[in-house]
Amino acid sequence: GAGVSQSPSNKVTEKGKDVELRCDPISGHTALYWYRQRLGQGLEFLIYFQGNSAPDKSGLPSDRFSAERTGESVSTLTIQRTQQEDSAVYLCASSLAGLRAGELFFGEGSRLTVL
């Protein structure tokens, strides 16, 4: 498909386990964002990648969270030693640069449940 693809769509894990979430952005999109959305809450910014620039990691809530992006393609968000408060929907979005930079295309999200 031509949209932003995220996997897995649902993940149930036990407290203390590591999880890896994947995002395939739209081809040609230089910018990629990760957000967290808890049930009934707004968007919590996690990390921003733009081309080959150093990522903005200012939103990562703790050192258990990390993210990587290979060039201008796939990104993975890793959560180590998961806690129950990590339960949320993790959203990925991508965009072009320049005047189109504010037009984000969102994936369907990865719903994480930590038991």
| Binds another protein by CB under 8 A, chosen from 18, 20, 68, 103 | 103
Binding string, 51-70, against another protein, x = CB under 8 A?
Answer: -----x--------------
The four Cα atoms 28, 6, 31, 70 give a dihedral, to 10 degrees, of -80
Tokens of 51: 């081309």
Q: Please tell me the distance from the alpha carbon of residue 54 to that of residue 94, in angstroms, as a whole number.
A: 16
Using CB under 8 A, list all residues that contact another protein: 31, 33, 42-43, 45, 48, 50, 56, 91, 93, 95, 99, 101-104, 106-109
